[in-house]
Amino acid sequence: MSTKIPRDAQNDYTPEIAAARRGFVAQHTGASLETVGNYAIAPAACAGNIENFIGCAQVPIGIAGPLRVNGEYAQGDFYVPLATTEGTLVASYNRGIKLVSEAGGVLTTVSEDIMQRSPSFIFDNAREARAFREWVAEHFAEIKAVADATSSVGRLRDIDPYASNKFMFLRFNYTTGDAAGQNMVSKATHAACEWIRANYPKLRHYYLESNFSTDKKHSAINVLRTRGKRVTAECTIPRDLLIQRMRVSPEQLRHARAMSMTGAFIVGANSNGSHVANAVAALFIATGQDLGNVAESSAATSFIEVTDSGDFYISLTIPALIVATYGGGTGLPTQQECLALLGCQGKGNAKKLAEITAALALAGDLSLASAITAEEWVTAHEKYGRNR
């Protein structure tokens, strides 16, 4: 019995070859893949998104909303599709959504939008590396021309250099339109590096990446310098509304947040918010984002205060939110529908989606922080979840 997964040399994205693969693994493992095979999308639509296609994971979607967003791109009330298997999550976000919307909605701001590839350049010594930095600055226009020629969308914005040891790490910052852009910037930076190699003889070697980007990882550099969108959500909740809806006062929340900000500082957490990763992951699955990017997109900085009038101001900055409305998994059927639900289908909508994500994350953080503070957290899970 062969252990080689079946392939179809002519057309590898047909229901037949997918079925053949399911049969193959069933034969090898005894596992039926009936429901996996009962998918609703054309295999051909998956070319470019997957290899060795066998069917689909079906992840339940719950709807939350309406979430009022006062963004520059997202304006109005949104029904948000959340794909998750974690009971209570949709209910908890919905509770926060209701509150922030009643409070007038969430103000959202995208303050940065760049995608990186960060090659490392190796020299004989640090002095050569430093000289190279000067040369790059002088030849930026030529490097940019080479990089930009590789795509109709990606544009090299600037090159941010970091010297260490006998290396120069160059953070190539691109705008990538409404695509997440990781592949686009790889291709562009590869071309730029090859041009550099041809034109800078003292270069000993380069690697297209040496963990300086940092793709699929949380890092201090991403928090400081942005990867993807840097987006902030803000809301002021009137005092009485907060007390009525959440059974906590602004002062109680301030006290609890002081503790959780302190805790986050001591343990070196990548977020001093509550559970941004939940909003990000649920929206990412629904809308066809790259789930590996939850690593960097889960970082967040929360800030709260009680206003002079006794109301509760809360804000949340996600410094490395990677979302796309074009490319990657965004073109697949259920993902397209969920993007359409948010009015975020296709080009021109990536920042809109970033704003909605941040507003959603804020609502969820407010909900969870309130529940912990009001000591209703465990009770909520007993009501909605599986308690396992």
255 Cβ contact list (under 8 Å, min separation 6): 373
What one-character DSSP code corresponds to residue 5? P
249 forms part of the interface with a copy of itself (CB under 8 A): no
Query: CA 70, CA 367: separation in Å to the nearest integer?
Result: 19
Among 69, 90, 237, 361, contact with a copy of itself (rule: CB under 8 A): 90
Query: CA 367, CA 373: separation in Å to the nearest integer?
Result: 10
Residue 81 or 242 with smaller CB distance to a copy of itself: 81
388 forms part of the interface with a copy of itself (CB under 8 A): yes
The site string for a copy of itself over 40-79 (x = CB under 8 A, - otherwise) reads xx----x-xxxxxxxxxxxxxxxxxxx-----x----x-x
305 forms part of the interface with a copy of itself (CB under 8 A): yes
148 forms part of the interface with a copy of itself (CB under 8 A): no
Residue 33 or 241 with smaller CB distance to a copy of itself: 33
145 forms part of the interface with a copy of itself (CB under 8 A): no
Q: Which of 178, 215, 290, 355 is catalytic?
A: 290
C-alpha dist (Å) from residue 285 to 227, 304, 319, 340, 352: 20, 29, 20, 14, 17
What is the nearest approach in angstroms of a copy of itself to the Cβ of residue 90? 4
Report CA torsion sign: 314, 296, 352, 147.
positive
Residue in 114, 100, 111 with CA at minimum distance from that of residue 70:
100
Tokens of 37: 């095979």
What is the nearest approach in angstroms of a copy of itself to the Cβ of residue 248? 12
Give one DSSP letter per residue of 73-124, joined into a string.
S-EEEEEEEEE---TTHHHHHHHHHHHHHHTT-EEEEEEEEEEEE--EEE-S
275 is catalytic: no
CA dihedral 326, 330, 333, 335 (to 10 degrees): -130
Residue in 14, 5, 12 with CA at minimum distance from that of residue 41:
14
Task: Considering only residues 261 through 290, tell me which ones interact with a copy of itself, judged by CB under 8 A.
Answer: 261-272, 275-278, 280-282, 284-286, 288, 290
140 forms part of the interface with a copy of itself (CB under 8 A): no
Tokens of 70: 């006062």
What is the nearest approach in angstroms of a copy of itself to the Cβ of residue 237? 15
329 forms part of the interface with a copy of itself (CB under 8 A): yes
| Total of chain residues touching a copy of itself, rule CB under 8 A | 170
163's enclosing H/E stretch is strand 155-164
The type of residue at 40 is A
Task: Considering only residues 332 through 371, tell me which ones interact with a copy of itself, judged by CB under 8 A.
Answer: 332-335, 337-338, 340-343
Q: Which of 86, 112, 128, 305 is catalytic?
A: 86
135 forms part of the interface with a copy of itself (CB under 8 A): no
Tokens of 77: 């009330």
The site string for a copy of itself over 368-387 (x = CB under 8 A, - otherwise) reads ----xx-x-xx--xx-xxxx
Q: How many CB atoms lie within 10 A of CB 1?
A: 5
311 forms part of the interface with a copy of itself (CB under 8 A): no
The site string for a copy of itself over 171-200 (x = CB under 8 A, - otherwise) reads --------x-x-xx-xx--x----------
| Matching residue, tokens 């939008």 | 113
Residue 144 or 230 with smaller CB distance to a copy of itself: 230
Cross-strand bridge partners of residue 83: 61
The site string for a copy of itself over 102-121 (x = CB under 8 A, - otherwise) reads -----x-x-xx-----x-x-
Q: Which span (83-91, 141-149, 242-250, 349-357) binds a copy of itself, by CB under 8 A?
A: 83-91
Residue in 331, 317, 257 with CA at minimum distance from that of residue 107:
317
218 is catalytic: no
86 is catalytic: yes
Cross-strand bridge partners of residue 234: 107, 315
What is the nearest approach in angstroms of a copy of itself to the Cβ of residue 303? 4
Task: Considering only residues 1 through 20, tell me which ones interact with a copy of itself, judged by CB under 8 A.
Answer: 3, 5
In three-state secondary structure terms, 32 is: coil
Beta strands per DSSP E along 238-379: 301-306, 312-321
What is the nearest approach in angstroms of a copy of itself to the Cβ of residue 202? 15
Residue 153 or 241 with smaller CB distance to a copy of itself: 153
Which residues are catalytic, by number?
Answer: 86, 290, 381
